């Protein structure tokens, strides 16, 4: 996905995240629901409790998002920005180095790694 302005879509599952309804999102996902989350705007959202397994968040903006305790180990995160995000207890993909995460959280750089 090309870098640029973060997308805000009308997708019902994405809109659940925008209103902090992670339980609704998780329920819909468990029923087989899908949505395109590449390059979307997730800034400032409370995503604690999110079932992120298998999601593609590549290129998404997670500035100031609350990701505490979220398992992102099986998520595509290439090109994401985590500036100011709360990441205590967050599990990242093993390929993503601590330095890369730190630079993104502190400076807003987009994470780069081989998946």
**Domains in the chain, CATH or no CATH each:** 1-115 (2.160.20.80)
Q: Is the pLDDT at 40 greater than 90, yes or no?
A: yes
User: Among 73, 57, 58, which Cα is nearest to 25's?
Assistant: 57
Region 55-80 average pLDDT: 97
Instruction: Render 22-84 in DSSP notation, one character per residue.
Output: HHHHHHHHHTT-----TTBB-TT-B-TT---TT-B-TT-B-TT-B-TT-B-TTSB-TT-B-TT
Minimal CA–CA distance to 36: which of 58, 19, 53, 51? Answer: 58
Mean pLDDT on 61-74: 98
- In this predicted structure, the answer to whether residue 2 has a pLDDT above a threshold of 90 is no
């Amino acid at each position: 996905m090309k870098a640029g302005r973060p997308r805000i879509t009308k997708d019902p599952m994405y809109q659940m995240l925008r209103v902090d309804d992670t339980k609704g999102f998780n329920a819909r996902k468990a029923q087989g629901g899908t949505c395109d989350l590449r390059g979307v705007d997730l800034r400032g959202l409370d995503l604690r409790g999110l079932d992120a397994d298998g999601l593609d968040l590549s290129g998404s903006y997670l500035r100031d998002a609350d990701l505490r305790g979220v398992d992102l180990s099986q998520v595509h995160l290439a090109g994401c920005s985590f500036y100011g995000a709360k990441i205590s207890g967050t599990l990242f993909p093993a390929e993503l180095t601590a330095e890369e995460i730190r630079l993104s959280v502190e400076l807003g750089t987009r994470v780069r790694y081989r998946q």
